[in-house]
Structures are given as structure tokens and as C-alpha cells.
Amino acid sequence: MHGSSHLLNWILWMPFIGVLGNLIIPSKKANAIRWWSLINTAITFILTLVLYKQFDTSVAGMQEAFNFSIPWIKQFNIFYTVGVDGISLPMILLTGLLFFICILSSWTVEKSVKGYFALFLFLQGSVMGVFLSLDFFLFYVFWEVMLIPMFFLIGIWGGENREYAAVKFFLYTFFGSILMLVGMVALYYAKGKGVDAFNILALSGGHFTDLKLSMFGTEFSFSKLFFVFMFIGFAIKVPVFPFHTWLPHAHVQAPTAVSVILAGVLLKMGTYGFLRIAYPIFPAASVHFADCIAWLGLINVIYGAFCAMAQTDVKKLVAYSSVSHMGFVMLGLAAMTIQGMNGAVLQMFNHGTSTAMMFLLIGILYERSHHRWIVRPDGSKGFGGLYTQLPKFSIVFIIAMFASMGLPGLSGFISEALIFLGIYEKYTTITVLALLGLLLGAAYLLWMFKRMFFGDVIEECKSYTDMNKREIAYMLPLCVAVIVFGIYPSPILNIMKASVGKLVTLLGTY
């Protein structure tokens, strides 16, 4: 298992090097900290691109060339194992890109610059760790570590109600991961404590299908019980209804860049967990619970959309739209067909870019307006005529919005279409109802757009300035990604399809 390439190690630890650098630079030199962070994330991003370049798309599963493994804790056979396959690579690319962009968008942060950027890079490192880990223990550690910077980033730099949001986010996720921890340890013993007992790859493949365990005099299927544990752990992150209520709070209160990361990357960690852990390790149980996942996904789609439509805070609206869109990913996961699963992974990537755009744009707007009301509580308009006042901003917003609602030609469409193609045969009723979500998705976004952008420029908006060069610079890569992958998704699909296909084949045997 000991690979020769250190590329993944560099990708994983580069952000932490950045953290150390930020700690060393004196806090008075705010600009030095910013530039250092920017360079650091840029290097990480370039490294991910190098990884993309060297990636062999024909290989299903882990790419041996990049694997790196050394023993960590001998007593438990815990290893430090990192690796990359077609499912994690899109996420790694997304992480690399979004963090780079977010550093740029955080340029205007003035409060405790040093702490902010250090925590931000720390967050990047831990997110990378989640996507790169192949050892379950390592995965879990990064999964949890990620909470700490998030907690502070929301809690210190967030909005008015930030403390509540931060605590809620932390507790919710922590609760889920505790269940995951129990499942992880149970797997370790079920696997016989051997050298591969924490190795995700070695655990995968349905070794536990027939295992039974008895509690309270009843027999439980081991795999079903612990699939449910894992499910809750990941579902909270996704978030799947009814575990979603942390998300609106966290999104709304978090500072812009953190919202972007939260929606763009962190939510994907949940679905990534399904693809990396819950599905391969418990294929039989996954198939058994597919109906349940599909229905929950459907509820997410519809419920998220309904709730989004009722929001008067634009950020909250987009937050609920994330709930709705992640529902599509869940639907794709429930399909367990090659189209559906590829669609789900692609949707993870595409939602990452489009929602990131939405949140960045809302952040840009917030910097000018210092509020986010579509309609204020007193019934007056929060924004009006932004189209006239901020033309560049509006165009980018239109791109983001239509990408988000799945307009063909923009990235969201292909993934949603694939998901629907994947799910239709198995769950016709759910498909029909989920299409309603597509409709509602257009409705709440357009309604929001109409209320904010059309009509006369209201007095308050007249002082807003259009996007500056820095803002355009960081929106541009996302715009390009959204359009290019909308027309030509193969670059992303090619890297994932073998790995996804392998997983689907595995699931197909149950």
C-alpha cells in the first residue's frame, strides 16, 4: 500500500502549512496574512489540478499511484492512509477551487484577520482530509476536526445570531458523528481487528451482509443497524429532512466565505460519506433502505423548495434551496443506477459551484447593503431595481440563478437530468413528485429575482456600486465552470464514471 507519490500529502498538508504561516506572521500585518493565505490556497489548487492531470480515468476505484499509507496506531491497526478515486477527485477539485475563491472574497474581512485566515486554512485542510482519507479513523478525525474551525468562523465572524447558529451546527453534526463513531468501532470488531479493520477499502464490498447481532432478545441485521447509524451521521451533514434545521441558521449567520464553503463543500461531505462509506460497506442494507432514502430525498426536494419560497431573507432562501438541491443528490443516490449515481456526484460538484456563486453574490450585495431582506418585516421592499443599478452583478446573478434552477446549458441541468433518468424506472411516483420540486425551484428563485432586481431603483439601492475587479475576478472562474460543465460535462464525468460504475456494480449484486 505504500505508494511513492506524496502529491496527496502535499494537498492535504499544504493548508496546515498555511495555518502555521499565518500563526507566525504578526497580526498587525493583515495584508501579508491575506496574501500568504491566497498563495497557499493557490498552491493547493494548482496541486489539485496536477492531480487531475495525472489522474488515470480508466481506473475504477483507488488510484494506486497516489496512495500513501503509513501505520499510525499499531494497537488498533489505524493507518494514515490517503488515496483518491473518481468520486473524491471532483470534490477535491471543488475544495481547491472554492477555498481559493473564498480567500479572495474574504479580502474585506477586517475583524481578527489572522484568526480568520488561519481558521479558514485549517478548515480547508480538514475538508481535504475528509475527502482524501481512506482510513476510517482518519476520516472520522478529519470529519470532526472540521467542526472546530467552522464553529469559530461562524461564531466570531457571523451575523447577529451567530452564536446560536454555531452551537447548533456543532451539536447537530457532533450528534450524528457520534453514531458514526459507534458504527465505525463496531465495524472494526466485525472485521476482526486486523490490519485492514479501519481501511475503508477493505471494509467495502459487503462483508457484513449476513452478520447478525442480538439485542434485547431480538436479532438485528448488523449491516442494517449500522447503516442506519451511518445514515444519520451523514444525513445530518447533507442535510436530509428531518435533520436539516441547523442549515438555515448556519448559512444565514455565517460570513459569506463560510456560507460558500458550507454550501459548496461541507454539505457534499455528507453525500460523499454515503458514496465512500455507507454504500460500499453496507451494500445490501443500502439497497434495502433505498426506498427510504428516495422518499427522504423527495421530501428534501419539495419541503426545501416550499420553505425557500416563504423566506424573506435572501440568504435563507438560498440556504433552503440547498436543502432542496441536496435532495436531488439523495434521489440520485437512491437510484443506484449508473445514470443516477453519476448524476448525483455531478450534482454534488455542480451544486458546489452554483450555490457558491449564489452565496458569493449575496455576500457582495451584503457588503453594500448590510441587510439581506427581500421584503423587510414591515412589508417594505429590501431591494428593488438592482438590475438597473448593478448590471454586471445582475448578469452574474442570472447565471448563478439559472444554473441553480437547472437551466439546460448550465451545469445544474445535466446532473438533474441524469438523476431523473436514473431514478424514473424504479421510483416513478417519486420522480413525478420530484419534478414538482424543479418547478418550485424555478418559482422561488425567479420570484426572489423579480422582487429584488426588477422595477424602479429604490432610494436605498441608489448608492450601491457595481462589482469591482476583485469580485469579478473571483466570480469569473465559477461562471466559466458553470457554463463549460453545462455544455461539456465530460471532464468531470470521465473522472468519476469508472469509480461510480464500480460502486453501482457492487450495489447491483444485492
Partner 1 sequence: MGLNYLVSLGHYVPELIVCITMFSLILIEAAHDKDATSKPLIGLTSFIGLISAFVILVLNLSKPGLSIFTNSIVIDSFGTFAKIIMVLGTLGAIYIAEQSSDIYQKLKSEFSIMAMGVLVGGMLLTSANNMLLLYIGLETLSILSYVMATLKKNNERSGEAGLKYSLYGGISAGIMLFGMSHVFGVLGTINFSEMATMIPNLTSDQMLILIPSFLLFFVGLGYKIACVPFHMWSPDVYEGSPIPVTAFFAIVPKIAGMAVIARLTMLLFNNDSLLSVSWIGALSVMAALTMTVGNISAIGQRSVKRMLAYSSIGHAGVMLLGIVVVSEIGLRSLLFYAFTYLFMTLVAFYIVSFVNDTYGNDHFDRFSGLIYKHPIMTISMIIVMFSLAGIPPLSGFVAKFNIFSAVVAKKYYVLAIIAGINSVISLYYYMKIIRLMVFKTSESENMILGLTLRNQLIIGALTVPVVTLGVFWEKIIGVAEQATLLIQ
Partner 2 sequence: MDYTIWAIAPIVLLPFFAFVINAFIVKKFTKLAVTISCAAILGSFGFASKVFSDFVFGKYAEDYHIHKVFNWFDLSYGSQIFKLDMGIYIDNMTAVMLFMVTGVASLIHIFSTYYMAEDKRFGRFFVYMSLFTSAMLGLVLSDNLLSVFIFWELMGFCSYSLIGFYYEKEGAGNASMKAFMTTRIGDVFFLLGILAIWSVVGNVTFVDIYRAISDGSFNGAFALGIPLATFAGFSIFMGTIGKSAQFPLQVWLPDAMFGPTPCSALIHAATMVAAGVYLSLRMYPLMDAGNLTTLIAYIGGITAFGAATIALVQTDIKAVLAYSTISQLGYMVLGVGVGSYNAAFMHLITHAVFKACLFLSAGSVIHSLHDHHTHEHVQDMPRMGGLRKKMPYTFWAMMFCTLAIAGVPFFSGFVSKDRILGDALIMGIASKSYIIPALLGFAGALLTAFYMFRMMFLTFFGEPRDKDLYDHTKKETFSLNRNFPLLLLSVFTLGVFFSGSLTGQGFVKVAGERYEWFKVLITKPKVEKFASYERQPWGNTDIKSNFQLSKAEYDPTYGLPAKEAHHVHHWHLVGALISIFIAFTGIFIAYMMYIKKAWNPGRWVSMFTRWYRALQNKYYFDDFYIGGIIKKGLLPLNNLLAYIDMGLYDRYAVDGWEKVNRAFFTVAKWFDNIVVDTVAVDGTGASVRLFNVVLRMVQSGKIQLYFMIIVFTLVGFIWTL
Residue ranges in contact with partner 2 by CB under 8 A: 60, 168, 172, 242, 245-246, 248, 303, 306-307, 309-311, 337-339, 342, 385, 387-388, 398, 402, 407-409, 413, 417-418, 420-421, 424-425, 428-429, 431-432, 435-436, 438-439, 442-443, 446-447, 449-451, 453-456, 489-490, 493-494, 497-498, 500-502, 504-505, 508
DSSP 457: P
3-state DSSP assignment of residue 313? strand
Q: Which listed option, partner 2, partner 1, none, makes contact with residue 465 (CB within 5 to 8 Å by class)?
A: none
Q: Which listed option, partner 2, partner 1, none, makes contact with residue 131 (CB within 5 to 8 Å by class)?
A: none
Q: Which listed option, partner 1, partner 2, none, makes contact with residue 477 (CB within 5 to 8 Å by class)?
A: none
The whole-angstrom distance between residue 368's C-alpha and the CA centroid of its chain comes to 27
| Enclosing H/E stretch for 70 | strand 68-73
Query: Closest separation between CB of residue 449 and partner 2, Å?
Result: 8
- Select the span of 91-99, 175-183, 349-357, 416-424 touching partner 1 (CB under 8 A): 175-183
Longest alpha-carbon distance in the chain:
71
Query: Closest separation between CB of residue 165 and partner 1, Å?
Result: 11
Query: Closest separation between CB of residue 225 and partner 1, Å?
Result: 8
| Enclosing H/E stretch for 23 | helix 7-24
Q: What are phi and psi of 370, to 5 degrees?
A: 60, 25
Judge whether 456 and 385 are in contact, CB under 8 Å: yes
Side chain identity at 432, as an amino acid letter?
V
71 burial (CB, 10 Å; 0-12 / 13-18 / 19+) is: exposed
Nearer of residues 192 and 508 to partner 2, judged by Cβ = 508
Give the CA angle between residues 109, 114, 120 to the nearest 5°.
75
Cell of 15: 493548508
Helix ranges (DSSP H) in 382-489? 386-389, 391-404, 411-424, 428-453, 469-487
CA distances from 470 to 18, 104, 165 (A): 22, 7, 29
- Select the span of 167-175, 291-299, 316-324, 383-391 touching partner 1 (CB under 8 A): 167-175
Query: Closest separation between CB of residue 10 and partner 2, Å?
Result: 30
Q: How far is residue 114's CA from residue 308's CA, in Å, rounded to a whole number? A: 35
Query: Closest separation between CB of residue 402 and partner 2, Å?
Result: 6
Nearer of residues 77 and 300 to partner 2, judged by Cβ = 300
Q: Does 366 bind partner 1 (CB under 8 A)?
A: no
Query: Closest separation between CB of residue 499 and partner 2, Å?
Result: 9
Q: Which listed option, partner 1, partner 2, none, makes contact with residue 81 (CB within 5 to 8 Å by class)?
A: none
- Which one, of 139, 176, 147, 348, lies nearest residue 258 by Cα? 147
Q: At what angle do helices 314-335 and 411-424 cross, to 10 degrees?
A: 40
E strands, 68-120, where? Answer: 68-73, 78-82
Q: 416: how many CB neighbours lie within 10 A of its CB?
A: 28
Q: How far is residue 104's CA from residue 471's CA, in Å, rounded to a whole number? A: 8
| Enclosing H/E stretch for 80 | strand 78-82
- Residues 20, 171, 310, 439: which binds partner 1 (CB under 8 A)? 171
Nearer of residues 144 and 460 to partner 1, judged by Cβ = 144
Query: Closest separation between CB of residue 129 and partner 1, Å?
Result: 10
Judge whether 269 and 143 are in contact, CB under 8 Å: yes
- Residues 141, 375, 433, 483: which binds partner 1 (CB under 8 A)? 141
Q: Does 118 bind partner 1 (CB under 8 A)?
A: no
In the range 178-197, which residues lie near partner 1 by CB under 8 A? Answer: 178-179, 181-182, 185-186, 188-189
Q: Does 307 bind partner 1 (CB under 8 A)?
A: no
Q: How far is residue 448's CA from residue 83's CA, in Å, rounded to a whole number? A: 42
Q: How far apart are the first and last CA of the chain?
A: 29
In the range 41-100, which residues lie near partner 1 by CB under 8 A? Answer: 72-76
Q: Which listed option, partner 1, partner 2, none, makes contact with residue 428 (CB within 5 to 8 Å by class)?
A: partner 2
Query: Closest separation between CB of residue 353 and partner 1, Å?
Result: 30
Q: Which listed option, partner 2, partner 1, none, makes contact with residue 66 (CB within 5 to 8 Å by class)?
A: none
Q: Which listed option, partner 2, partner 1, none, makes contact with residue 417 (CB within 5 to 8 Å by class)?
A: partner 2
* Total residues binding partner 1 (CB under 8 A): 34
Q: Provide the binding-site residues for partner 1, judged by CB under 8 A.
A: 72-76, 140-141, 144-145, 147-148, 151-152, 155-156, 162-163, 166-167, 170-171, 174-175, 178-179, 181-182, 185-186, 188-189, 213, 215, 225
